[in-house]
A and B are shown apart, each in its own frame.
Chain A
């Protein structure tokens, strides 16, 4: 109960947001296309939150978040296919299972990788991302339904506001609680100075693995929600560029800030998708020219992001009790 009580601010805000969005959707003020964008923003927030735990809090530079996102997406789509699931309630265990599966893969991969230094970890996670992409491209050799490089079609569209928003809120809550627990403290210590942390008796290997696994868990859940929103999966959705998407949100929003991630996620998706509606397709090509410039500029002036280490009091995220 104290878990819920300490989150009363956040829950209150969430209920208000839910009511507002639901009204927006039902009244038809938001077209289906717009609704899809909003749901997608929430999904991206979950994925970015995972990367924030891995990189923002614990300092492990991973360029493979999209791979775990993809693993969760494919696993969830496969499970709903095999068990012929079509509605939200039986979907919840599938979602959870997909998250766990991603987490498991993350945990296993973590063994050889996490002890590496930042630049090598980057390449290793990048390489893993490529490996996953190749695996997905050839997945139809294993199981034809997965579609391989032709894509996985016909996934039931289970993701809706009623599903995504509660899941997002719950995950924000859980993440917040973990961050403000001793584990979160250890993670930040490791980020600041790994050697000193281990000198203090922190089991850095285990803590890093824990952060990484948790981050992959979130990515897997986000992937599962994504698969059942777009009804179509293709291995090219889960490549390096997608990992960069998550990375940008974490960096822009602020490393080590949950509020920053939420905010940046909303702005980022809104901006990117909003441009698609507004701009003629000729202008869209400038998107990915400006994004890396933004990244470089951030590295020069605010390498820790905009809201680094700060949390919103309004949302009640900084308060734990």
Chain B
């Protein structure tokens, strides 16, 4: 019984982490679907979201719904800004130039925000606007933070689903990810749709940022790097370009990471990610839900 309880508990831990990864992975997958670009800076925009939430709660003492609104707005704005300044001018350039630019934007965000005049490179305590409470469910203990994460993630996914599959913008996005040229021939405003995609993707990361802050209340300008890489791998695992792939991939990566930590050693958790990536790329490069993608 104890073994079951322990395993279930770790499973919930994994889902908690995985939910955040899923939200971040959504941004990667949506941008990739539309632009075939790995937005290296996405993890850093996630970090930016967490910091915005920090300022809202700790410095300006705003009520929780405002925190969400402002964070989502700010991260979406940053996403669109990055797209307009750094990626749009290079749309016709070879893909590698775009990639390197993305790397550059990522580094810039990290180091610019780490300046003493900005967020500083220090670790900052992320305040929780509520006290932690645990709920005993006989086999496991679930904290209110976990419940919040699960419910917010579910709500966000539901809203996202409505947006992507039941709205005009969503349809434009999906059309663009199939075939950009034809989509523009059909009268879809390519620029606006791309910006929209970035905005939605980074907004998801912003929500992820808030939840991450609640769960792991210590933030730092470089905190987005590893979650960013892991979330991208999650998106690849699930099938890059597919929304449900990102969600499943994120949850799987979160759970495996926690299980590696629990049953092997915490020090292997990052290296294990690469093993997963390698396995995916070797055996099923299109991901769990994906169709074949061209290699060249």
Q: Does B114 contact A (CB under 8 A)?
A: yes
Instruction: Please judge, given known A-B contacts A292-B104, A295-B104, whether A126 and B267 are in contact too, CB under 8 Å.
Output: no
Cβ–Cβ < 8 Å partners of A120 in chain B? 236, 281, 285
Instruction: State which of A11-19, A34-42, A133-141, A171-179 sits at the interface with chain B.
Output: A133-141
Q: Does B96 contact A (CB under 8 A)?
A: yes
Most buried by B among A63, A126, A138: A126
CB distance from B237 to the nearest CB of A (A): 12
Instruction: Please judge, given known A-B contacts A124-B281, A299-B104, A303-B93, whether A130 and B112 are in contact too, CB under 8 Å.
Output: no
CB distance from B188 to the nearest CB of A (A): 24
CB distance from B151 to the nearest CB of A (A): 32
Q: Does B183 contact A (CB under 8 A)?
A: no
A123 vs B240: C-alpha distance in the bound complex, in angstroms?
13
Q: Does A119 contact B (CB under 8 A)?
A: yes
Chain B, range 191-222, C-beta contacts under 8 Å to A: none
Question: Do A131 and B236 touch across chains, with their CB atoms under 8 A apart?
Answer: no
Question: Do B38 and A119 touch across chains, with their CB atoms under 8 A apart?
Answer: yes
Interface of chain B, helix or strand or loop or mixed? helix
Candidates B101, B104, B114; contact of A285 at CB < 8 Å: B114
Instruction: Please judge, given known A-B contacts A130-B229, A289-B111, A289-B115, whether A112 and B281 are in contact too, CB under 8 Å.
Output: yes
A152 vs B110: C-alpha distance in the bound complex, in angstroms?
29
Cβ–Cβ < 8 Å partners of A117 in chain B? 295-296
Question: Do A303 and B94 touch across chains, with their CB atoms under 8 A apart?
Answer: yes
Which residue in chain B gives the minimum CB-CB distance to A129? B274
CB distance from A283 to the nearest CB of B (A): 11
Chain B interface size, as a band, is 35 or more
Chain B, range 77-91, C-beta contacts under 8 Å to A: 86, 89-90
Cβ–Cβ < 8 Å partners of B110 in chain A? 288
A296 vs B112: C-alpha distance in the bound complex, in angstroms?
14
Given A288-B107, A288-B111, A292-B103, 20 new contacts (CB under 8 A): A61-B99, A116-B281, A119-B95, A130-B274, A133-B271, A134-B267, A135-B271, A138-B268, A195-B296, A240-B225, A285-B115, A285-B116, A285-B121, A286-B115, A293-B108, A295-B100, A299-B98, A299-B100, A299-B101, A300-B89
State the B residues within 8 Å of A (CB).
Answer: 36-38, 86, 89-90, 93-101, 103-108, 110-112, 114-116, 121, 225, 229, 232-233, 236, 267-268, 270-271, 273-275, 277-278, 281-282, 285, 295-296
Q: Can you report 26 residue pairs joining A to B where beta carbons are below 8 Å apart? A: A63-B103, A115-B295, A117-B295, A118-B96, A124-B278, A127-B273, A127-B274, A127-B277, A127-B278, A130-B270, A130-B274, A134-B270, A138-B268, A244-B103, A285-B116, A285-B121, A289-B112, A292-B107, A292-B108, A295-B103, A295-B107, A296-B101, A296-B105, A296-B108, A303-B93, A303-B100
State the A residues within 8 Å of B (CB).
Answer: 59, 61, 63, 112-113, 115-120, 122-124, 126-128, 130-131, 133-135, 137-138, 194-195, 240, 244, 247, 251, 282, 285-286, 288-289, 291-293, 295-296, 299-300, 303
